[in-house]
Structure 1
């Protein structure tokens, strides 16, 4: 398959490319689309055959539900039932943006999208290119991250091509992603609402609207055997490079002492900029300042992919503390490392 590439910087001036991508989606094709979080692999959410191609291209297990992308909040009623007032309050503040709301679904959403669950994750992305494509397509778009299953999520079109070139119909290059980790997922079908995946909208922001909020234990721990994943990113090892990732949590000097006592050959350290000089002999990949969690989130997946390009065998990753955007970085590192954590 020849994967087309549409580079779009101004969707208003490049309507022909927007319409071409939208036409492919209506025809049941797979199109990678940029969002403010990561690139998504899109298909017409109302076409089970098109959606099934997502799972084949990614090698994704079919018991892992997908998120449905819509152009605006007015589309919710077409696909969801019993929408609570809290959904509209959240949408008023955070849509378009990096927030997915789990709601009861209508029957026209195919089972393959939701892994057979009675609920569906709904999102309205902020990226102007994908917003234009969604409006032009006229169909909801199911889209997980546009990478091979288990690999670090793509935050640039080149990452998508590294994994899926020749396996999908098109990639829309809308530039680098601003947030860098997938959307926050909150389940509004339970009381109190439950955070299923942390992301660009942090728990403090959700609590201001919802009051009570439970953080699901799967955010920082694995699901037990037989447990059902209610949202993407809950069940399987995700975001992982080929390197073995070990998280190191604790005070900087103690972390450096532990890591520097390990063999440096074929190893790298993913750390804060302030600590970069503390690891002589290692390949050091700073991913942002400790006080700037937005940079940590934005840079994380790109650096995990860099580990593979450098043929790193073992990567020690400094574990960020906090419940804001740091929680999203913790979650992704936990999944990438298979929950291997060293406390120092």
Structure 2
């Protein structure tokens, strides 16, 4: 199989680099300065064993590949807000022997949240969810890092909306030869919703900085509890904290990397890069949506969604709002829903 990594940033670049490092055929898809650096200098992957350089084919769209191959596996690793454009670009791409990518090829959605795979299923026949536990960072054009050890990450795989098949098992086997653990599960959404609850803190971190002092931690617990209440009201199952901890154990422990500081998660990185967009609409916004559908107030998640979107749109600095100011806004938001 050949892996086509659509969005070779922090997550996609690390997955692609690790697969390439274990001998698998990989094509990276990128744009702008990142595309140019990958094309000219290769993918530089900073991991605990050092900096690895992989000279891989890199394209900015399907036209550069001509016809796709019947054994291609598409890995969608763009942020969810960029999914529609990416899928509409790759779905009509012709596949050797007839048909299109949307008709014939599997697409694995290696993204936060749960919406990317629903978007994909509107266009692609064969869609797989991936629960991504992969601490990684886009360092600069052409350079990504992953500080996890002894494993780089844990990637639960499964068909969307449910089930497993031979393709998922083959991809999992390749990942497990590439510094990942990749359980194949029939209920991948249960793991993704559990991860979603953790990712509700991404906007909090992006707006105020690392969630470390007691006030920030207390607010995160309230935000997460609000999310859990919504999932319970909607009848959506999710893996418990204890179950997640049992799976993770000490398998992905962060170690310091030279020249690759980890400033924050994916939302923090979006603000730091000044991309102008952020994934809060599909994290905190997912809880807000479900809350409205099931009659559960979600003032804290709505507030974080609004603030994150504002910071991204106005290109404000990551972590620039004092925690005390956010706490004041949070308390006011809760009072206003009563």
Higher helix share: 2
- Shared fold (TM-score greater than 0.5)? no
Greater RCO (CA < 8 Å, at least 6 residues apart): 1
Give the TM-score taking structure 2 as reference length: 0.29
